[in-house]
């Protein structure tokens, strides 16, 4: 764990903790604001948050201290981690996914929470009731409708692999309600695209090999991977398994094609983390989170791995390549 503990308590205002003034917290002689971070693991998108904070004048180790809590795939730990951070007198918590944000909401109604959502949308998951006026102690990046994004991914998969009629859908079995909304959206979209779907739920990344073997035996022609931060450390394994079973696949995370997968389409997640820094900045300067409208992602990436296409014997249509924001040679 990094960061250092705050030595003074936090005041209350309208049910939300007041930010500490720098002069209220002297840590080793250095005035620092203390924030907490909740995530699955220290992957690169957290660097985007710190970069965004640096752009706004917040430097970790100088005027900013950070307490990190990583679930390492065990999301049941998020609530206890939030309680630890509250006891440490953090001034706010940055939650890096919908599960972490919901757990933090259950753990505290006073400490500000800056949510950064990509695998779940703030309204769909019940995190807030109103994006424009979130109220309470939560704000941040609201994410986008998972159903719409999933349908777009399936459409792009069909455009890239027109002959694909039977599509496997890989999902983390323990994911939030947003996963079910995505599956329902895919089931509605599939007939229009002349596709048949079957969902392969896995309890954790340890079930990947079994799931891919089942897909291979059943003769599926393509694969859609529903998003989960549980895949963060296994994108290379997923890409290798897709190649082994000759499954053209699409995911939401750009790390998938960079690890050897075929396609990815989704919001620019590092950019969302960089944007989240503006919320941290405003709250540390005294703003109440419930008064800050949540943002939706505005930048989207579509990546195509041409090396993987060649290995699979696919000729990606020019109409698909024209849509790509990045073609990996």
Q: How far apart are CA 213 and CA 245, in angstroms?
A: 8
The phi and psi torsions of 89 (rounded to 5 degrees) equal 65, 40
Domain residues for the domain of 243 are 146-267+301-328
Residue 130 lies inside a defined structural domain of this protein: yes
Looking at the fold, whether 130 and 199 belong to one and the same domain comes out as no
Looking at the fold, whether 272 and 124 belong to one and the same domain comes out as yes
pLDDT at 98: 87
Residue 169 lies inside a defined structural domain of this protein: yes
Mean pLDDT value of segment 115-138: 87
pLDDT at 289: 97
pLDDT tens track for 211-264? 999 999 999 999 999 998 889 889 999 999 999 999 999 999 999 999 999 999
Q: Percentage of the chain with pLDDT > 70? A: 89
| Predicted confidence (pLDDT) at residue 19 exceeds the cutoff of 50 | no
**Residue count of the chain:** 329
Confidence of residue 275 (pLDDT cuts 50, 70, 90): very high
| Predicted confidence (pLDDT) at residue 26 exceeds the cutoff of 70 | no
Mean pLDDT value of segment 300-316: 97
Looking at the fold, whether 170 and 99 belong to one and the same domain comes out as no
Residue 7 lies inside a defined structural domain of this protein: no
Mean pLDDT value of segment 285-308: 95
| Predicted confidence (pLDDT) at residue 1 exceeds the cutoff of 80 | no
Q: Percentage of the chain with pLDDT > 90? A: 74
- Better-predicted residue by pLDDT, 210 or 298: 210
pLDDT at 3: 41
Tell me, what CATH number does 249's domain have?
Answer: 3.40.50.2300
Looking at the fold, whether 17 and 131 belong to one and the same domain comes out as yes
Mean pLDDT value of segment 58-86: 94
Looking at the fold, whether 290 and 203 belong to one and the same domain comes out as no
Residue 319 lies inside a defined structural domain of this protein: yes
| Predicted confidence (pLDDT) at residue 57 exceeds the cutoff of 70 | yes
| Predicted confidence (pLDDT) at residue 310 exceeds the cutoff of 80 | yes
Looking at the fold, whether 81 and 188 belong to one and the same domain comes out as no
Residue 3 lies inside a defined structural domain of this protein: no
pLDDT at 30: 55
pLDDT tens track for 142-196? 988 778 899 999 999 999 999 999 999 999 986 566 788 899 999 999 999 999 9
Q: Is 86 helix (H, G, I), strand (E, B) or coil?
A: helix
Residue 166 lies inside a defined structural domain of this protein: yes
Looking at the fold, whether 190 and 178 belong to one and the same domain comes out as yes
Q: How far is CA 242 from CA 223, 227, 328, in A?
A: 8, 16, 17
Looking at the fold, whether 116 and 225 belong to one and the same domain comes out as no
> Domain total for the chain?
2
pLDDT tens track for 28-52? 445 899 999 999 888 888 999 999 9
Q: Do residues 202 and 173 make contact, with C-beta atoms less than 8 angstroms apart?
A: yes
Looking at the fold, whether 59 and 19 belong to one and the same domain comes out as yes
| Predicted confidence (pLDDT) at residue 22 exceeds the cutoff of 50 | no
Looking at the fold, whether 137 and 189 belong to one and the same domain comes out as no
Q: How far apart are CA 7 and CA 317, in angstroms?
A: 60
Residue 5 lies inside a defined structural domain of this protein: no
Looking at the fold, whether 133 and 17 belong to one and the same domain comes out as yes
- Better-predicted residue by pLDDT, 185 or 14: 185
Residue 109 lies inside a defined structural domain of this protein: yes
Closest CA to 211 of 253, 166, 179, 241: 241
Strand partners, 30: 27
Strand order in the sheet with 138-141: 64-70, 33-39, 93-95, 113-116, 138-141
- Better-predicted residue by pLDDT, 70 or 1: 70
Q: How far apart are CA 319 and CA 187, in angstroms?
A: 25
Looking at the fold, whether 209 and 294 belong to one and the same domain comes out as no
| Predicted confidence (pLDDT) at residue 118 exceeds the cutoff of 80 | no
Q: How far apart are CA 324 and CA 200, in angstroms?
A: 28
Q: Return the structure tokens found at 236.
A: 């290379």
């Amino acid at each position: 764990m990094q960061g250092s503990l705050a030595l003074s308590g936090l005041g209350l205002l309208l049910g939300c903790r007041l930010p500490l003034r720098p002069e209220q917290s002297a840590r080793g002689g250095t005035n620092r604001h203390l924030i907490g971070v909740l995530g699955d693991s220290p992957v690169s998108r957290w660097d985007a948050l710190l970069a965004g904070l640096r752009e706004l004048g917040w430097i970790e180790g100088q005027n900013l201290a950070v307490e990190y809590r990583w679930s390492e795939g065990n999301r049941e730990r998020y609530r206890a981690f939030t309680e630890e951070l509250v006891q440490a007198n953090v001034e706010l918590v940055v939650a890096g996914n919908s599960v972490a944000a919901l757990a933090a909401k259950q753990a505290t109604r006073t400490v500000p929470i800056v949510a950064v959502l990509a695998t779940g949308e703030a309204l769909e998951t019940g995190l807030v009731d109103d994006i424009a006026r979130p109220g309470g102690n939560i704000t941040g990046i609201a994410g986008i409708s998972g159903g719409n994004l999933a349908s777009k991914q399936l459409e792009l998969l069909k455009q890239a692999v027109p002959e694909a009629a039977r599509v496997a859908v890989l999902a983390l079995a323990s994911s939030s309600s947003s996963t079910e909304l995505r599956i329902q959206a895919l089931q509605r979209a599939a007939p229009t695209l002349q596709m048949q779907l079957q969902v392969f739920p896995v309890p954790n990344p340890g079930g990947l090999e079994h799931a891919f073997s089942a897909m291979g035996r059943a003769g599926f022609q393509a694969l859609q991977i529903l998003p989960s931060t549980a895949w963060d450390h296994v994108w290379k394994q997923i890409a290798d398994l897709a190649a082994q079973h000759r499954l053209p696949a699409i995911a939401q995370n750009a790390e998938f094609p960079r690890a050897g997968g075929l396609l990815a389409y989704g919001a620019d997640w590092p950019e969302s983390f960089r944007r989240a820094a503006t919320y941290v900045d405003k709250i540390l300067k005294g703003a109440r989170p419930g008064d800050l409208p949540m943002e939706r992602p505005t930048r989207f990436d579509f990546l195509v791995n041409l090396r993987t296409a060649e290995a699979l014997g696919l000729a990606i249509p020019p109409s698909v390549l024209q849509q790509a924001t990045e073609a990996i040679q």
